[in-house]
Amino acid sequence: MLRGLYSVTICMALLTFACNPSTDTSYDLKFSAKDFTPHNDQVLEVAIVRKSTGAILKKDKTVVRDGAFSFSFPGVLKAGEAYFVDYYADFNENGTCDAPQTDHTWRVRIPTVDGDVDFVDTHHMGFTDVCSSFTGEGGEEDTDTTTVTLVGTLAVDTSLAPTSGISPGALLSGSTVFIEGFPDVDAESRSDGTFRLQIPVPTKQAGGTLHAVMWHTVHSDGNEFKWDANITRIGKREAFAVPSSVSSQTVSLGKVFLSYTKRVFFTLREETTNDPVDLCWVQFPDYKFQLFFNNIGSGLYRVDYLPPGDYTMKLDCLGTEKLVPFTVSASTSYTDTQDLGTVYIRGDGSTYGHLH
């Protein structure tokens, strides 16, 4: 969902624009915000990120006063490029960026520009974990990239029990494919199950490993916006090697068979009292996106929907972060659930217990 007001020299739906033609290839960015009263007197830091390369171009910080702040970055934008404006309020006042909701973190998406940009954001709770934008000094121009073209064919796993919209072995049309760490670039599979996805990978990641995430959803009641147990979802998370060359490369995953995902449950309790713990934020740092989860109450949590595989879950309990590894077993039915067990939170914030 887009929030705030834009003023740029291109026209798009849902945004308000005022054109300011220029013959220069560099443009100015002005960024301000209002209704940030909950963060008065807190430090707020911003980073300007080039979308195509992930380069951190500029950083700056200020203190929120009277519910407002503003930044100006002359000449930071280039014609024909898109950008992210990542920023966070140091809610716990420890001097660093911590994942939400320990700190409050946001991302503004600036579409391809051809002029100056003047953006006004309004305080909201739609957080995005952008802390990776604040780990370096900024100002680096990492413009060399490996253009990886990922191709493959998606099909239903032949061992799955059929259900509405799912036939074992069938090719999948309209499935979503994206790469962890590149959530704003995705593709859909065609009628023959094939997909083609191009991503600009920074050279520092060449020769490494990335993970492709593939999802297919069947809305059994015909309502694509209804997110509940009536939705059949199959998926696959598959690793692939990034070519070491900086030239364009094609990587084929071949035929990928998607399996049913599971709803997984786990319980959090305090070690000495055995009382349920209901104030934890659940994240999956390896996934680079926020999975849908519910705090059901009485220490019980539910995460939707996970394909089979190994995961590392990050629990943020009142500012104390802990990583908990676990494995999701293969599923044979779209109604399958898995109880991961109980994790006990010690008084010093550490955890013990086993999720299986």
Q: Is the pLDDT of residue 30 over 60?
A: yes
Choose one of 245, 260, 275: the last residue of a domain: 260
Domain annotation covers residue 19: no
Q: How many CB atoms lie within 10 A of CB 138?
A: 16
Q: Which pLDDT tens digit goes with each residue over 45-60?
A: 999 988 877 788 889 9
Closest CA to 190 of 177, 204, 178: 177
Residue that the structure tokens 């990587």 belong to: 251
Q: Is residue 63 part of a domain?
A: yes
66 and 92 together in one domain? yes
Least confident segment among 13-27, 83-97, 275-289, 303-317: 13-27
| Domain closes at, from 109, 134, 159 | 134
274 in the same domain as 251? no
What's the number of domains the chain is made of?
A: 3
Cα end-to-end distance, the chain, whole Å: 36
Virtual torsion, Cα 74, 77, 83, 84, nearest 10 deg: -10
Task: For residues 249 and 297, state if they share a domain.
Answer: no
Residue 140, class by beta-carbon neighbours within 10 Å (0-12 exposed, 13-18 middle, 19+ buried)? exposed
Q: Give residue 16's pLDDT band: very low, low, confident or very high (50, 70, 90).
A: very low
Q: Both 159 and 250 in a single domain?
A: yes
* Residue 139 belongs to a domain: no
State the pLDDT confidence band at 224, using cuts at 50, 70 and 90.
very low
- The answer to whether residue 149 is domain-embedded is yes
Say yes or no: 279 and 227 in one domain: no
Residue 253 lies in a domain: yes
Quick one: what percent of the chain has pLDDT higher than 70?
A: 78
Is the dihedral angle over the CA atoms 169, 175, 180, 185 positive or is it negative?
positive
16 domain-assigned: no
pLDDT of res. 286 = 66
Report yes or no on 195 lying in a domain.
Answer: yes
Verify that 237 and 335 share a domain, yes or no.
no
Domain match, 256 and 159 both: yes
7 inside domain? no
Q: What is the mean pLDDT of the chain?
A: 79
Both 256 and 268 in one domain: the answer is no
Residues 73 and 31 in one domain: yes
Q: Is residue 118 domain-shared with residue 86, that is, in the same domain?
A: yes
Same domain, 120 and 216: no
Neighbours of 27 (CB within 10 A): 22
Residue-wise pLDDT for 313-356, tens only, equals 888 776 667 788 888 887 777 778 889 889 887 765 555 554 43
Q: Quick one: pLDDT band at residue 65, thresholds 50, 70, 90?
A: very high
Residue position matching structure tokens 């051809």: 114
Task: Confirm if 45 and 137 have CB atoms less than 8 A apart.
Answer: no
Q: According to the model, what pLDDT value does residue 9 have?
A: 34
Average pLDDT over residues 156-184: 82
pLDDT digits (tens, 9 = 90+) for 236-277: 888 888 887 656 689 999 999 998 888 889 998 888 888 898
Single out the residue in 228, 260, 292 at which a domain terminates.
260
β-strand 145-156 against 249-260: which pairing, if any? parallel
Residues 72 and 123 in one domain: yes
- State the CATH number of the domain containing residue 47: 2.60.40
CATH number at residue 333: 2.60.40.1120
Structural domain range at position 331: 262-353
What per-residue confidence (pLDDT) applies to 134?
87
Whether the pLDDT of residue 230 is over 90: the answer is no
Q: Domain containing 185 — which CATH number?
A: 2.60.40.10
Calculate what percentage of the chain has a pLDDT beyond 90: 24
Please state, in angstroms and rounded to a whole number, the distance separating the CA atoms of residues 219 and 41. Answer: 46
